[in-house]
Amino acid sequence: MSSIKIILRKNKLDKSGEAPLYLRVIKDRKTKFISLSLKLDPNQWDEDKQKVKKNHSNSARLNAYISKKVADAKGEVADLERRNLSTSARKLKEAIKGKPLTNFLEYSYKRCEKQKDTLAFSTYNTYKNYLKKFETFVGHRDLMFEDITVTTLKDYASYCSSKLGNNNTTINFSLKIMQIMFKEAQREDLIPIDLFPFNKFKVKKEMSTRRYLTAEQFQGFMDLEVSDQYKAQIIKDMFIFSVFVGGLRFGDMIELKWKNYDKKAGRITKIIRKTGRQHSVKMGQKAIDILEKYSNKDQKQEDIIFPFAGIDDAYFTDKAHRSLLTGRATALNSMYLKKMGEELELPFKLSFHISRHTFATRALNNGMRIEHVSKLMDHSDIGITQVYAKIISSELDNAVDKFIN
């Protein structure tokens, strides 16, 4: 329950001996004061009756004004407590003052729509899906920014872990989307800067694991006989090709065109979709041999090298269409590689991204400078690449331990 009372703050007397009159709101032992823009001599205020005494020349008018303010405040409080699961002293104060509260989910969904044209379509969908997940947890959309407390975050993290089976990385990403919305609302002056419960709640980060194929496992993958399904062979070739050309991502591999291949120079050059930066790498014979498998005399510069995803002209101009084709190709790619990994009896699920990790560890093992590995992988920070160096160092330590013990 909350309480509302008129308080004459005698500790704030001005030079004329008058004190300001405030509306005091108490909720959960938290107190907020709202100025009524009135000042009175302490002898003119009846604390018990909550009225201006008759010794004030305008007592009747002032008492009518004060009564209306109290009634309005109680009405706002009753309405707010009826509509929301939780309230705070600050929220009550803002409601009484007439300052509108911002609905978290409504604001967040609208923000996504505003940024739809500037975000990658997959990113736009990811934001909406994670917000929908939070809405499902809450059970309704009538949720203000102020309603999201540390307790809310703890309960949501527990829900993601126990009910949805999310790991800590996924939970942290869920909270990250919410943090972005809080910061955007703060930039727009819709919520106060100090309204940020994420500072008081953290989900422990899991140790980053970089799965990769050892030299023996990679050789086994290259020697693996795949099914007679044409696309199974294509995805195998794409994986091997990626390892030999700097760990190109799946999304870049499926849209490689013959114009990206300089046969005379033996070089692949492409603008990376994720970063917008140019990737250019000189190829060895094994990578060239893979390209030659897909080359034919009728090919055009605009033709796709690896005919895996059914890419058409609309793929490059329509975000939604590109997302649809990429999603289908990713699902098919995951299915084939999972089966190949099982045939090789790998101790982890094989995915296309492991080709990037395999390139990095092979390159560092063979003496390539870490700066060059970072450049080829298009990392924004060499610190990202250093994860692979730590893997190599850890492997070396393990090898030494086995040798000396």
Residue-wise pLDDT for 195-229, tens only, equals 899 998 888 776 556 788 989 999 999 999 987 67
- pLDDT > 90? residue 242: yes
Q: Taking 60 as the threshold, does the pLDDT of residue 399 lie above it?
A: no
Q: What is the DSSP letter of 54?
A: T
Q: Which domains does the chain have, with CATH numbers?
A: 2-97 (no CATH), 104-200 (1.10.150.130), 215-404 (1.10.443.10)
pLDDT in tens, 232-241: 999 999 999 9
Q: What is the mean predicted confidence (pLDDT) over 75-93?
A: 66
Q: What is the pLDDT of residues 26-54, one digit of tens each?
A: 877 778 888 888 899 999 999 999 999 99
**Which residues have a Cβ under 8 Å from the Cβ of 173 and sit 6 or more positions away?**
130
Q: Please give the model's pTM, rounded to 2 decimal places.
A: 0.59
pLDDT given for residue 78 in this prediction: 78
Per-residue pLDDT reduced to its tens digit, 248-279: 999 999 999 999 999 999 999 999 888 888 88
Q: Which amino acid is at 51?
A: K
What are the angstrom distances between the C-alpha of 388 and each of 64, 211, 294, 397? 74, 10, 32, 14
Q: Report the chain's mean pLDDT, rounded to a whole number.
A: 85
Residue type, 195: L
